[in-house]
Amino acid sequence: MFEWQKAHPEIKKREACFSTNELDSSLSSVVVSLLQDFDEVFPVEIPIGLPPTRGIEYQIDFVPGAPIPNRPAYRSNPEETKELQRQVNELMERGYVRESMSPCAVPVLLVPKKDGTWRMCVDCRAINNITVKYRHPIPRLDDMLDELHGSVVFTKIDLKSGYRQIRMKEGDEWKTAFKTKYGLYEWLVMPFGLTNAPSTFMRLMNHVLRAFIGKFVVVYFDNILIYSKNLDEHVEHLKLILGILRAEKLFANLKKCTFCTNKLVFLGFVVSAKRIGVDEEKVKAIKEWPKPTNVGQEKLTNAPLLALPDFAKAFEIECDASGIGIGAVLMQEGRPIAFFSEKISGAALNYPTYNKEIYALVRALETWQHYLWPKEFVIHTDHGSLKHLKG
């Protein structure tokens, strides 16, 4: 039993269990049973109190010699003031903030949410301006999607209030202080808006899932995608990931998760066994706009399905050039994998047709070298002189 469960046994009973009614009715009994075994990973609310220390906390290093900011509180009307203090009190009750005596202080403001309620936001710009920036790599979406080739079963796990699940480094809390009309407070968990917060979140996810990333898991911030070649294998993979989340006390949002399916939406793309398409919701507003009157508008709502690359097969490039631009498509067996286009500018506008065609090919090779090297590939072109190129 977790420490927070010992301190608040009623939370386990009230929040950590979920009904099978919340799950897809098409899920097998094996998967449902597995999820019930890990029900504490899917609480209705994140448990009260601080998350555990996991070796990666949010730290803030100020630029040496930089003046410590002390910004005045923003003006607010009585209703806004009351709402701000209500949210601060709620954060204090959950153990996320505490009263402060910091020399550093920035203001807060309310931002309207889609549902008509208000979100308290800390104006961190003054802190970010004097913070040393750390450049932990953020994964490329195209690289992650490439890893899915050959997989037919997918699960997406969405972490719940991810930033609230990372602690501030002890001793750095004073650097996050914010003020309202009634007091000065500092964060004990990682707040939104600070410059290195996304990098810290990716560091944590890469750390806890390092044994599985690149094998059957891709991670993009609070989105975890598990991919497998069959259902039996997938159940084992899912069990491993849920075990890690439980051991690390990382909590997921059940309503935003999708389990053991052959098709799901991941980061705006529809992922399936053989193809990747655009999420219809992302182009819904465009489709509901007045009927397109030209080719460009029509293309916006009829994006092609992209095939997943098979690195055991040969790649093909088809490229072309016009007076003002170049374009190319990467294919396998006639199915598009990626597209590339670029507007020609500067001196390149004066290139003869032959040079523009070569330029199109060179840019395509540069863009997709990670697919092409070191194996042989095929180039398709309508410019006859390019056939005589020698390596």
Q: What domains appear along the chain, each with residue ranges and CATH number?
A: 274-308 (no CATH), 313-388 (3.10.20.370)
How far CA 346 is from CA of 302, 324, 343, 364, in Å, comes to 32, 10, 10, 19
How far CA 38 is from CA of 35, 157, 214, 216, 241, in Å, comes to 5, 13, 24, 20, 10
Query: CA quadruple 389, 338, 346, 321: dihedral positive or negative?
Result: positive
CB atoms within 10 A of CB 35: 22
Show contacts of 346-351: CB within 8 Å, 24+ apart.
349/323, 349/324
Question: What tokens appear for 285 in the block?
Answer: 């507003």
Instruction: Map residue 256 onto helix, strand or coil.
Output: helix
Counting beta carbons within 10 angstroms of the beta carbon of residue 277, is it exposed (0 to 12), middle (13 to 18) or buried (19 or more)?
middle
Place of tokens 């396998």: 332
CB atoms within 10 A of CB 308: 20
In a structure prediction context, what are the per-residue pLDDT tens digits for the chain, which is 391 residues long? 334 334 434 333 333 345 555 666 678 889 999 999 999 999 999 999 999 999 999 999 999 999 999 999 998 888 889 999 999 999 999 999 999 999 999 999 998 887 888 999 999 999 999 999 998 888 888 888 888 888 999 999 999 988 999 999 999 999 999 999 999 999 999 999 999 999 999 999 999 999 999 999 999 999 999 999 999 999 999 999 999 999 999 999 999 999 999 989 888 888 888 777 766 665 555 556 566 666 655 554 555 667 778 777 888 888 888 888 998 888 888 888 888 899 988 888 888 887 888 888 888 888 888 778 777 888 887 766 666 665 5
Contact 224, 162 (CB under 8 A): no
